[in-house]
Structure 1
Amino acid sequence: MTLTAPRVLTIANQKGGVGKTTTAINLGTALAAIGERVLIIDLDPQGNASTGLGIDRRQRTVSTFDVMIGEAGLAAAAVETLVPNLAIAPSTLDLLGVELQISSERDRAFRLRRAIEDFAAADQSYSYVLIDCPPSLNLLTINAMTASHAILVPLQCEFFALEGLSQLLKTVEQVRATLNPDLSIHGVVLTMYDARNNLAAQVVEDVRRHMGEKVYNTIIPRNVRVSEAPSHGKPVLLYDLKCNGSQAYLRLASEIIARERALHAA
């Protein structure tokens, strides 16, 4: 990719309920807290990332739907959040119809990539763009992968975790072969870990054996404060900074920054 800044990371897993949106919100907040300027792109029609960052539906006058159909740029859609250095391009249910509107267009897989390139060219202040994807491998997710430098995969510590991961990795390979040859897997983050559950420990062992160093050292625990925070329109780092979940996301942000530095140094 020709994009030099910001770094674009897609948070993807076709399985629902694995912590994609929670990871997008709290990783974005953690990166902002350590001095990075971050834009989250809410590409899920459910709009949970937007709601979880306190963006009322009445505030979403320009959304990622408008960006995807070419009627607005990301700068027009971006809304500042309660978190300093963190903005979000919010989503609306209109996104459900975007595939029908652009599926016959030749550039249908490149809509988001072009929007990010235009945004980055006009505003050099952002260091990270995080894309929150829907729980499916549809045209929205393909757009996100085509626009990204790397994929971050949240994986719930449950029985079928690896089965879903293999399908996602196949899609990444297809996108790399046809649309974005520089796409890579940044890492796998294990989520909703319950230390009391023997199966969870087995899943962690299996995923680490299968994916090796691609698995982040940080594991996100199952934590009630993480679950409560979105209903208050806040990331958990604002809702309860000292809880285990917040501290885990801060560690994950530090680990991602360290991987980024290692990539640039290589």
Structure 2
Amino acid sequence: MTPKQRPELTGPAPEIVAVFGRLAGVGATTTAVNLALGLAAAGRSVLLLDLDPEGGASRAMGVAERERGGTGRVLRERAITRDMIVATQVPQLYLAPASPELASVTEALGEDDDPLTRLYQALATLPALSLDFDHVVLDCPPSLDALTSNALIAAHRILLPLAAETPALDELPALLKQVNELRAGRPQPLYGLYLLIGMRGATATSRNLIDQVRREHGRMTLATEIPFDVRLSKAETPTQPLLASGLTREISQAYLGLAAEWLMLSETGDRPDGSWRPKSSEERRARHRARLTQAIEDWRLDPLSRLYDPEQAMRHQDSQALGALFEAAAPRRRFSLAWRPGRATWLVLTLLLLAVGLSVWLHPWLTDKQRRLELAARFIGSAHHWEAGSQLLARADERAYRELLLAAQLLDTNRARLIACAERATSSGPAECLVVLPSMEANP
């Protein structure tokens, strides 16, 4: 990768990352290997240095120990040359394997006047290589010895995998103090120290411990959490990176999230101080994850890739063939509804349907004369609805409306006559009471 092809980075180039687990079994080597692969999937050129005499990172990348080259020579010669590194199965990911002499070099460091800056001096020779790296990932042994100290002094960023267990959390303050004392006064700038939490179980105790770490160490703690996988015991050292063997496992998805979050460390956020708003951060990580997933899947499907998986490629081809057959057999769609209505829209549509149904039901009553008469009669039966019923009756049959008014007038007149007659009969004896009879010719 030439400088013109290098992705835009706001941090140092190459960025040197030391991955250090204070205790064995916290997944430091697995983290270093999969972080390196994730960065390579993002289009970055990555160099992975295996500084652990056990050689776990070398085995995970499928590279056996070599008599020539490797990190033993890197430390002994204080330089990195092309014959010390090898290409791996992952495009743009190179490895300096742990050579057999690494253990003896550790003993020789004690006789040096400045034994802790050898790796720093070696990494300073990287610009002389024909390869141009964006990231250098250092896999450290699980002890704060001379090899780890060399890595911590040479790093721009330090990543500490941490088990969510009480003993590990109790030792964390002392460990952070040791790292700070080791880095004090060193020429290499330290841009950040980050804690990566590993969960052994989704229990209330572990959740409380994780909350405690986040509360006490704030932004040092990464958002990603790595679940414990019983298949990754020390007796079963992975022979290939988890991200290269498949992305369906929960732990593989977690390491995808770690790589996506690490890419964001060198990016400027959308806040004035350069940080990310929570929603923007989630969306950005999701875009990185999707891009990393697609790149890894493409490697496994490409026959020219060293990660080519024939079974995966066959399943992919079968899936495409079945999809094509289904599309050919399926009826042609005249249109597709891309819009999905929400609750408010459904409520408005329901009310409109009810209004239309009610208007359809009332339409015959309002247009048919006989039904208007029946409806008016029902309304008039109640004194409360007299006005509405009489108006409806006037619209339905004008003559019937006039007769109704005449009957009401006669009723009021005769009621007054009968009341007066009854009063006279009480005071003077029997009396003749006359009432007014309706006349069909009358015009109210």
TM-score, with structure 1 as normaliser? 0.89
Other structure's SS at 1:145 match: helix
- Taking structure 1 as reference, are residues 155 and 74 closer, same or farther at Cα in structure 2, changes over 3 Å only? farther
Question: Where does residue 84 of structure 1 map in the other structure?
Answer: 91
Q: Counting helix residues as a fraction of each chain, which structure ranks higher?
A: 2
Question: Where does residue 175 of structure 1 map in the other structure?
Answer: 182
Structure-to-structure mapping, 1:153-192, within 5 angstroms: 153-180=160-187, 182-192=189-199
Task: Give the root-mean-square deviation of aligned CA atoms.
Answer: 2.4
Deviations 1:56-97 (A, max 9, x none): 22x453121111111762532211111111111111343222
CA distance in 1, matches of 2:84, 2:157: 23
Q: 2:241 is matched by which residue type in structure 1?
A: P
Other structure's SS at 1:41 match: strand
Q: Retained in 2: the 8 A contact 1:225–1:245?
A: no
Other structure's SS at 1:167 match: helix
Question: Where does residue 250 of structure 1 map in the other structure?
Answer: 256
Other structure's SS at 1:262 match: coil
Question: Where does residue 150 of structure 1 map in the other structure?
Answer: 157
Deviations 1:159-181 (A, max 9, x none): 21222322321122112213246
Give the count of matched residue pairs.
Answer: 261
- Taking structure 1 as reference, are residues 60 and 245 closer, same or farther at Cα in structure 2, changes over 3 Å only? farther
Other structure's SS at 1:194 match: coil
Q: Which has the higher contact order (CA 8 A, sep 6+)?
A: 1
Question: Where does residue 202 of structure 1 map in the other structure?
Answer: 208
Q: 2:262 is matched by which residue type in structure 1?
A: I
Question: Where does residue 135 of structure 1 map in the other structure?
Answer: 142
Other structure's SS at 1:120 match: helix
Query: Cα distance, 1:227 vs. partner?
Result: 5.5
Question: Where does residue 216 of structure 1 map in the other structure?
Answer: 222
* Residue 75 in structure 1 maps to residue 82 in structure 2: yes
Q: Counting strand residues as a fraction of each chain, which structure ranks higher?
A: 1
Question: Where does residue 40 of structure 2 map in the other structure?
Answer: 32
- Taking structure 1 as reference, are residues 246 and 120 closer, same or farther at Cα in structure 2, changes over 3 Å only? farther
Question: Where does residue 315 of structure 2 map in the other structure?
Answer: none
- Taking structure 1 as reference, are residues 103 and 258 closer, same or farther at Cα in structure 2, changes over 3 Å only? same
* Residue 41 in structure 1 maps to residue 49 in structure 2: yes
Deviations 1:31-74 (A, max 9, x none): 111111111111111111111111122x4531211111117625
Question: Where does residue 370 of structure 2 map in the other structure?
Answer: none
Q: Paired residue for 2:247, among 207, 231, 241?
A: 241
* Residue 10 in structure 1 maps to residue 18 in structure 2: yes
Deviations 1:226-265 (A, max 9, x none): 559x7552101111222111111111111111112239x6
Q: 2:103 is matched by which residue type in structure 1?
A: L
Deviations 1:5-38 (A, max 9, x none): 2000101132111110010011111111111111
Q: 1:55 is matched by which residue type in structure 2?
A: V
Identify the range of structure 1 (35-44 vs 185-194) with the bigger mean alpha-carbon deviation: 185-194
Other structure's SS at 1:32 match: helix
Q: 1:11 is matched by which residue type in structure 2?
A: V
Q: Paired residue for 2:108, among 90, 97, 101?
A: 101
Which consecutive unaligned segments of at least 5 residues does structure 1 have? Answer: none
The 4+ residue runs of structure 1 with deviation greater than 3 A are 224-228
Q: Retained in 1: the 8 A contact 2:159–2:194?
A: yes
CA distance in 1, matches of 2:152, 2:78: 21
- Taking structure 1 as reference, are residues 232 and 9 closer, same or farther at Cα in structure 2, changes over 3 Å only? closer
- Percent identity over the alignment? 36
- Taking structure 1 as reference, are residues 232 and 139 closer, same or farther at Cα in structure 2, changes over 3 Å only? closer
Query: Cα distance, 1:194 vs. partner?
Result: 2.0
Deviations 1:122-142 (A, max 9, x none): 346211101011111111111
Q: Paired residue for 2:125, among 95, 108, 118?
A: 118
Q: Retained in 2: the 8 A contact 1:18–1:155?
A: yes
Query: Cα distance, 1:106 vs. partner?
Result: 2.5
Other structure's SS at 1:220 match: strand
Q: 1:239 is matched by which residue type in structure 2?
A: S
TM-score, with structure 2 as normaliser? 0.55
- Taking structure 1 as reference, are residues 39 and 158 closer, same or farther at Cα in structure 2, changes over 3 Å only? same
Q: Retained in 2: the 8 A contact 1:193–1:221?
A: yes
Question: Where does residue 55 of structure 1 map in the other structure?
Answer: 63
Which consecutive unaligned segments of at least 5 residues does structure 2 have? Answer: 1-10, 276-444
Q: Retained in 1: the 8 A contact 2:79–2:125?
A: no
- Taking structure 1 as reference, are residues 164 and 88 closer, same or farther at Cα in structure 2, changes over 3 Å only? farther
Deviations 1:177-206 (A, max 9, x none): 1324622433111124422x3332122112
CA distance in 1, matches of 2:34, 2:232: 9
Q: Retained in 1: the 8 A contact 2:156–2:188?
A: no
CA distance in 1, matches of 2:237, 2:162: 23
